[in-house]
Amino acid sequence: MAEFVCRLGTPSGEIVTRTVEANAASDARAHLEKEGYRVFAISSGESEFGSSLPFIGSNRAKAVKPADFLLFNQQIAALLKAGIPVLQAVSMLRRRAASPRMRDVLGEVEEKIRGGTALSEAFEQQHIFPRIYTASILAGERSGALDDVLARYVNYLRRSVQIKRKVRGALAYPIFLLAASIFMVLFLSVYVVPKMATLFSGITAGRSLPLLTRVVVSISNAVAGNFWWVFPLAIATIAGLYFWSRTEGGRLFFDRLFLKLPLIGNLIVQMTTAQVSRSMATLLAGGITVPESWEIASESVTNRELRRRSRSVLSSVREGQTLTDSLENAAWLPPLALDMIGIGERSGSLREMLDEVSSFYDAEAEVRMEQLTTLLEPIILVVMGSFVIMILLAIYMPIIQTISAPAGGRGN
């Protein structure tokens, strides 16, 4: 069965969003209409909201760049705060947009608004924006404070972009160092050592080569002699693992594996805790209910194993359990986060406490990221340096042996 995200009107007149499992969209529509809902829109949850980042849809050909999306939201929040009508604001920003893709999207949104479609629904029908964005706009439309809701979302988006840039920046140097080290080892093994092996056969004058040299030369000859099928096999293996990791089973396998790794697993949990808390606080600030806020915020969980554990939370909350107890049963949030959320829930300041949780675990994740990169760099240097030293020793030992042998002979 597939998951469908449905925008519904309740018998009491509220507009809500629900996720429904059904074999087809028509089955989901029939089931909801039987329950008394008015169905406004049904879309595939996986196709629209498969990405955790707030500016990338699953349809990458249509995706809007993060910087363009952030700039647009900053500008439209400012225009709405100045009292400019929504249609006029969208039209102005469409004409001034530097990105051709953003102009196309805003052109489609403008057409739908002229046809009587609400701003939230016009964005939702583009199928490239995350649910937290369209839900925030919907909350702003309901409350009449769309400019404030958009301003809060801009802060949320800016923080998400900053974290993504920090992660990329922190990992850039270790990845470059690893790639350069691997290239150096391969160059020495495949090109330099076989060349030197020919020289060794002429200068050793029948003496056996040192053990380390024989081992390195044997490995290098094996790699160099089979390079034209070993290299394509390695590329095919890496490509196979990559495409398998894109499947649901492969993603789940690697996500579970990452959670078990020291430092990395803890870092993933902390970053996910911060992301979910930030998303939920943004939605609660816009007037979305706790169950619906969790349902939308949990879509930001990119780790499939953590998302699997989170599925029971929504049903538990709707059955009457507190959010804190439901999250504790999911068994992945850190104990301190659960304590802080519990205090916020009991004191009626859940949104404020979720903001505190996201800020705290953002800071913790930054510390963990620094620890990870600080640990990775010397490990890479030591491991790859050891390989380089072994290869260089294997090259120089026969030369030293040859130079020292005549002196020993004269001494006798």
- The reported pLDDT for the residue numbered 205 is 57
Sorted by sequence, the CB contacts under 8 Å of residue 227 that are 6+ apart come out as 190
Q: How confident is the model at residue 1 (pLDDT cuts 50, 70, 90)?
A: low
Residue 382 has pLDDT above 80, yes or no: yes
196/89 Cα distance (integer angstroms): 71
Report the distance separating Cα 401 and Cα 214, nearest Å: 14
CA 365 to CA 268: how far, in whole Å? 8
Mean pLDDT of 333-338: 92
- Would you say residue 217 has pLDDT above 50? yes
Q: 339-364, pLDDT tens digit by residue?
A: 999 999 999 899 899 989 998 998 88
336 pLDDT above the threshold of 90 = yes
**How far out from the chain centre does Cα 74 lie?**
23
Encode pLDDT of 143-159 as tens digits.
Answer: 777 888 888 888 888 88
What pLDDT sits at residue 45? 45
The boundaries of every CATH 3.10.20 domain in the chain are 1-49
Q: Average per-residue pLDDT in the chain?
A: 81
Whether 394 contacts 193, CB under 8 Å: yes
Q: Which residues pair with residue 21 across a beta bridge?
A: 3
CATH 3.10.450 fits 1-49, yes or no: no
Q: pLDDT tens digits for 80-128?
A: 888 888 889 999 998 888 888 888 889 999 998 888 888 888 888 888 8
Residue % of the chain over a pLDDT of 90:
9
> Once rounded to an integer, what is the mean pLDDT over residues 367-373?
84
pTM of the model: 0.67
Q: How far apart are CA 351 and CA 362, in angstroms?
A: 17
pLDDT tens string 254-309: 999 999 988 888 889 998 999 889 888 888 887 788 888 888 888 778 888 998 88
Whether residue 204 is predicted with pLDDT greater than 70 in this model: the reply is no
Question: Cα-flanking dihedrals φ and ψ of residue 250, to 5°?
Answer: -65, -40
Q: Say whether pLDDT at 219 is over 60.
A: yes
Matching residue, tokens 């519990």: 342
Please write the tens of the pLDDT for every residue from 36-59: 787 766 765 443 333 333 444 444
**pLDDT number for residue 406:** 55
286 three-class SS: coil
What is residue 144's DSSP assignment?
T
Tracing tokens 């999306």 back to the chain, one arrives at 69
Predicted local distance difference test score (pLDDT) of residue 49: 33
Residue 221, pLDDT > 90, answer no
Residue 80 contacts residue 152 (beta carbons within 8 Å): no
Stronger pLDDT, 185 or 14, i.e. the higher one = 185
Residues in the chain: 412
Q: Using pLDDT thresholds of 50, 70 and 90, give the confidence band for residue 17.
A: low
Q: Which amino acid is at 246?
A: R
More confident call, 135 vs 338: 338
Comparing 394 with 26, which gets the higher pLDDT? 394
